[in-house]
Chains A and B, each alone.
Chain A
Amino acid sequence: MRVTQKMRVQSLLSTINRSYAQMANMDLRRRITKASDDPGGAEQMVRLRALLAHNDQYQKNVQSASRWLNYTDTALGSLSENLRDARELALSAADDSQGLEGVAESLDGIIQQMLLIANTEQGGRFLFAGSRNNLAPFELVGSDVIYRGDETSLRADISSGLALRYNVTGAELFMPQEAEFQSTRDWDPVATWNSSLSELLDGAGVETGMIRITDGGGAETVVDLRGALTLGDVRDRIQAAAPAMTVGLVDGERLQVTDTAHPGDTLRIEDVQGGTMAQALGLAGAGAGGSLLSRDLDPALTDATPLSDLRNVALPLGTVDVTIDDDAEPTPLDLSGAVTVGDLRAAFNGAFPELDVAVAEAGNRLEIRSLGLVSFAISSPEGDDTARNLGLEGSAVPNRPFGVLLDLRDAVLDEDRARVASLLGELEAVEERFLTARASVGTRLNLAEDAAGSLDARNYALTESLSDVGDADMAEALLLYESAEAIYQASLALASNIYELSLANYL
């Protein structure tokens, strides 16, 4: 092959260019400097960076939320301490042998101190003001403490779909709460054919739907229970659709579906068409021996529930003693005439306008609360255990963190030692309230800590992946660089030599 000068020049030039370009484009830090270097890797890097950004945000959220919770925890700690001091002062003030000098001033100090804590501020934010936290939430006006914040829960997302509440509102901590307590006993009303489906499962209710019954002979019947209102409706519809079935109530607790045609075989019931009714009733499944039993249906109390339907309440009822406020005499309340739960409520509410009796949230007992901030107690008169029988024996005090302290101070100023003594219970209740709040803050702090741990781990993993994908292997890059450089230098040396070689030099 003929080789001309131009060929030599061109081949040299292309070698020089290539090795020079290789050197120039080499990045010792980054393996991918533009997307076309490794499209898949670049895509992954962009995605990882987004994930990392979100993780960073979650980390920031957890950090900030933890700080809030920590400050809240500290504040709650000193609140408890102050309250303990107040109680000690109250204890000594209640004792006739102790003097009262300086006690009122100390109590004033404690009130001021607690007000200060209630208005704790961090970085221009008031911890206990809900979302209106750019203004001091509490102010002592005369003998009243006014709350200016709101009841908003502040939440921080600490991972996808998980939000952590990081504040405690002033309302939760300091706003007066009425005295209330509920029966200590589950009255356990029985289920009847009149029990409404929406009242079952302690008031949670059951959503009606379609069910399929497969009898022992393998015959399938779909029963449309949609729109059924009572357990009686359920019975009627099942028996109408599948005449061989009998539906009964066992112990006033459970439904029983029995296949009379195939007593020895397996009976199946399941939800169809997206329904959940059989599942909710506990009827879904297969029952050997041709019958299926539901779960305990636990209907909720209603005003119409006859007292005779309450399995845990012994009849007849007698009289309970009700004491409103500490210093009042007990008032007997005769409950023997009550036939339904509604009668019971009416008896209480009619005799004591200060009280409100209602079905508790659990659905299976009553709850009594004071209207207005009075304490009350229910006790049994001699030889009558109606109150105990109803689980309603007990007392409740209102919870007025500032109010009780102000009252205490006034009582000390009035040297009313009896009044001081009567406030001790309320003081304890307030202390309890702060402790509960603090425990909940502690739980949330733990949650935040756990979250921070897993977010850190995720951050590390993401950063590592990002580095795996995007960072250059420095040693490898250096070696490549050096080899490119060697080629480059050799080409340059060759170029300067090759131009000297010409026949013209020898002619």
Chain B
Amino acid sequence: MSGLFNTIEIGRSTLSAQQAALNVLNHNVANANTPGYSRQRVNLASRGMLGYLAMSGAGGVEVSCIQRLTDPFLLGQIGRVHTDHGEQEALSGGFDMLEILFGEPVDEVLGEMGLGDAVSEFLSSWQTVINPEMESDEADMRGLIIESARVMSQRFNSLAAGIIDLAEGLQADVRDQVDEVNRLLDDVAELNHQISSSEVGESARGDLMDARQIKLDRLAELVGAEWEMDDSDHLQVRLGGRILLDHTTWHGIAAETLGSTSDRTRGARLASLDDPNPLEAPGGSLRGKLRLVNEEIPGLLDQLDKMAATLIDKVNAIHQAASGSTGGGVDIFVGTNASTIAVSRVILDNHEMLSLNGQMPGGQDIGSAIFALHTEPVDAAGGLTIEGMYSTLVGDLGARSASAAQMENATGRLLESLEAKLESLTGVSVDEELTDMMVIQSTYQAASRVLAVVDELLETVLSIL
């Protein structure tokens, strides 16, 4: 038969269980705003009473486990959306920068001038009709043409330089992000080690897993890494079918720069440190950036180069063929692409070398011939004019940018709603915790009350003695 002390023991178990519950509750409230934190719950279990009519002792309550509330399926989904979102965000960011570089459509009211305007202005500057009401001589008109040629060349140069800078910046981003991936893998391996360690308590293990989840999400966002966990909590991180991390051991990735140092923009690809085969990022920010560096930017630069090269060739050919009393017979532009186009030194040093009133072999004025380039299809395939090449380029860039921005937005929304869903399951509701607290409090008070009664009973018994 149990004694009063057993009753005290039951009360004590109640008090300590409630205290444990209060501790976890407090831990929850404390971490209500901690990113990635999953709320924990104390699971209580009754200790069975022993003996007939509960007369032989024991009974009471004990903490069976501290449960971390989470949803691996939802987490996996969020990881995949992170991957998509990361890629679209990177793309959209890159396109945004490119759009800013081009600055089209320009704001006329603010007097902005785009490359297209500079080209139009250069072509128009050849229309040297003398306004009889303005004092201007041939030197002025030559100066005007050369200046607009210079402005246009600089536009090409600075646009190309901006694009190249952007590509270089993205290359640096790629390297940084590859480093980050390796750091994250290292962190996850270390966390796995700690999680598996037997010395860690249940609540602390939950916190460690939360910390690991943040890193796994980031890995998904960066390279589209996928993870898998077996029942014994053994974690594997994979990238495109290759195992990057096996619980506590990991293999890093590296970024390789492609092309030669003489290239204006260089491509890049991923590689793993222990496997010579190129590594394909299935998604994520790195894939977006690699696509920008390897395809989008070189493509855009190529179009710009074509435009510049066409201008250089056409204008030079006309000027070479022009005959007149002064100037002509030399190139106006030097260079072969958007980066190198420039007004030739010969012309800059001696404006007289520029043919102002030269005649083409067909009898046309040089001014008309060059101005007529604005209607001449110069692109064999599309029948586009030089300015048409530019407007197509702008429209094309806009369309790509718009589609990336739209995808970024869509994946962002999806991510938001999935995270809300997860938060609904794993997040801390302070009100709920407070309600629980009231329950704990009253249980604690009740148990204390029982103990007080037992105390009185003991006193009664002792007073008899």
- Chain A interfacial positions (CB closer than 8 Å to B): 1-7, 10-11, 14, 29-30, 32-40, 42-47, 49-50, 53-54, 56-57, 60-61, 63-65, 67-68, 71, 122-125, 127, 131, 133-134, 152, 154-157, 160-161, 163, 166, 470, 502-504, 507
CA of A3 to CA of B134 in the docked complex: distance in angstroms?
75
* Among B155-163, B291-299, B388-396, the stretch in contact with A: B388-396
Q: Which of A35, A63, A125, A155 contacts B104 (CB 8 A)?
A: A35
Quick check: is B258 within 8 A (CB to CB) of the other chain? no
Contact between chains at B120 and A50 (CB < 8 Å): yes
A30 and B130 in contact (CB under 8 A), knowing A40-B395, A50-B374? no
Contact between chains at B430 and A502 (CB < 8 Å): yes
Contact between chains at A46 and B104 (CB < 8 Å): yes
Q: Which of A11, A71, A161 contacts B420 (CB 8 A)?
A: A11
- Chain B interfacial positions (CB closer than 8 Å to A): 32-33, 95-96, 99-100, 102, 104-109, 114, 116-117, 119-121, 123-124, 127, 129-138, 357, 365, 367-368, 371-372, 374-375, 387-388, 390-392, 394-399, 401-402, 405, 416, 419-420, 423-425, 427-432, 434-435, 438
Q: Which of B127, B133, B402 contacts A39 (CB 8 A)?
A: B402
Q: Which of A32, A53, A134 contacts B105 (CB 8 A)?
A: A32
A64 and B371 in contact (CB under 8 A), knowing A36-B402, A503-B431? no
- The interface residues of chain B lying within 8 Å CB-to-CB of A7 are 420, 423-424, 427
- The interface residues of chain B lying within 8 Å CB-to-CB of A54 are 120, 123-124, 371, 374
A50 and B116 in contact (CB under 8 A), knowing A6-B427, A64-B129? yes
- The interface residues of chain A lying within 8 Å CB-to-CB of B438 are 507
What are 11 residue pairs bridging A and B, where the CB atoms are less than 8 Å apart in the complex?
A7-B427, A39-B399, A43-B394, A45-B104, A50-B374, A50-B390, A54-B123, A71-B132, A123-B135, A124-B137, A154-B129
Closest to B406 in A: A36
CA of A269 to CA of B391 in the docked complex: distance in angstroms?
50
- The interface residues of chain B lying within 8 Å CB-to-CB of A14 are 416
Contact between chains at A47 and B388 (CB < 8 Å): yes
- The interface residues of chain A lying within 8 Å CB-to-CB of B135 are 123-124
- Nearest CB of chain B from residue A190's CB, rounded to whole Å: 37
Contact between chains at B428 and A507 (CB < 8 Å): no
- Nearest CB of chain A from residue B395's CB, rounded to whole Å: 3
- Nearest CB of chain A from residue B39's CB, rounded to whole Å: 8
Most buried by A among B105, B420, B427: B105
Q: Which of A34, A50, A124, A503 contacts B398 (CB 8 A)?
A: A34
- The interface residues of chain A lying within 8 Å CB-to-CB of B138 are 134
Contact between chains at B434 and A60 (CB < 8 Å): no
**Tally of A-B residue pairs with Cβ under 8 A?**
200
- Nearest CB of chain B from residue A151's CB, rounded to whole Å: 13
Contact between chains at B129 and A166 (CB < 8 Å): yes
Contact between chains at A157 and B427 (CB < 8 Å): no
A36 and B121 in contact (CB under 8 A), knowing A6-B423, A47-B388, A68-B132? no
CA of A63 to CA of B365 in the docked complex: distance in angstroms?
19
Contact between chains at A35 and B397 (CB < 8 Å): yes
Contact between chains at B391 and A46 (CB < 8 Å): yes
CA of A504 to CA of B438 in the docked complex: distance in angstroms?
11
Q: Which of A33, A46, A134, A507 contacts B116 (CB 8 A)?
A: A46
Q: Which of A30, A64, A504 contacts B131 (CB 8 A)?
A: A64
Closest to A56 in B: B124
Contact between chains at B124 and A46 (CB < 8 Å): no
Most buried by B among A1, A7, A50: A50
Contact between chains at B387 and A47 (CB < 8 Å): yes
CA of A3 to CA of B429 in the docked complex: distance in angstroms?
7
CA of A506 to CA of B325 in the docked complex: distance in angstroms?
98
Contact between chains at A67 and B131 (CB < 8 Å): yes
Contact between chains at A503 and B397 (CB < 8 Å): no
- Nearest CB of chain B from residue A380's CB, rounded to whole Å: 44
- The interface residues of chain A lying within 8 Å CB-to-CB of B416 are 10, 14
Contact between chains at B394 and A46 (CB < 8 Å): yes
CA of A47 to CA of B375 in the docked complex: distance in angstroms?
12
CA of A58 to CA of B156 in the docked complex: distance in angstroms?
26
CA of A199 to CA of B226 in the docked complex: distance in angstroms?
88
- Nearest CB of chain A from residue B68's CB, rounded to whole Å: 16
A122 and B133 in contact (CB under 8 A), knowing A46-B114, A50-B391? yes
Most buried by B among A42, A63, A122, A507: A42
A53 and B132 in contact (CB under 8 A), knowing A39-B398, A502-B430, A502-B431? no
Q: A46-B390, A67-B131, A71-B132 are in contact. List 18 more A-B contacts (CB 8 A).
A: A4-B428, A34-B104, A35-B105, A35-B395, A35-B397, A36-B99, A36-B405, A40-B395, A43-B396, A46-B395, A50-B120, A53-B124, A57-B127, A65-B129, A67-B133, A124-B135, A134-B137, A503-B434
- Nearest CB of chain B from residue A123's CB, rounded to whole Å: 5
Contact between chains at B104 and A42 (CB < 8 Å): yes
Contact between chains at A36 and B95 (CB < 8 Å): yes
Closest to A58 in B: B127
CA of A14 to CA of B371 in the docked complex: distance in angstroms?
53
CA of A35 to CA of B391 in the docked complex: distance in angstroms?
10
- The interface residues of chain A lying within 8 Å CB-to-CB of B96 are 34, 36
- Nearest CB of chain A from residue B362's CB, rounded to whole Å: 13
Contact between chains at A4 and B391 (CB < 8 Å): no
CA of A40 to CA of B108 in the docked complex: distance in angstroms?
19
Q: Which of A35, A50, A154, A166 contacts B401 (CB 8 A)?
A: A35
A43 and B132 in contact (CB under 8 A), knowing A3-B429, A5-B32, A470-B105? no
Most buried by B among A14, A123, A166: A123
- The interface residues of chain A lying within 8 Å CB-to-CB of B104 are 34-35, 42, 45-46
Q: Which of B121, B133, B367 contacts A53 (CB 8 A)?
A: B121
Contact between chains at B368 and A503 (CB < 8 Å): no
Most buried by A among B32, B390, B428, B431: B431
Contact between chains at A5 and B394 (CB < 8 Å): no
- The interface residues of chain B lying within 8 Å CB-to-CB of A122 are 132-133
- The interface residues of chain A lying within 8 Å CB-to-CB of B123 are 54
A5 and B429 in contact (CB under 8 A), knowing A53-B121, A68-B130, A124-B136? yes
In the A-B complex, the 6 residue pairs with the smallest Cβ-Cβ separation, listed nearest first, are A43-B395, A35-B398, A39-B398, A4-B427, A36-B401, A53-B120
- The interface residues of chain A lying within 8 Å CB-to-CB of B117 are 49, 53
CA of A35 to CA of B97 in the docked complex: distance in angstroms?
12
A3 and B424 in contact (CB under 8 A), knowing A10-B416, A34-B398? yes
Contact between chains at A35 and B423 (CB < 8 Å): no
- The interface residues of chain B lying within 8 Å CB-to-CB of A63 are 131
A157 and B127 in contact (CB under 8 A), knowing A14-B416, A50-B374, A504-B434? yes
- Nearest CB of chain B from residue A256's CB, rounded to whole Å: 40
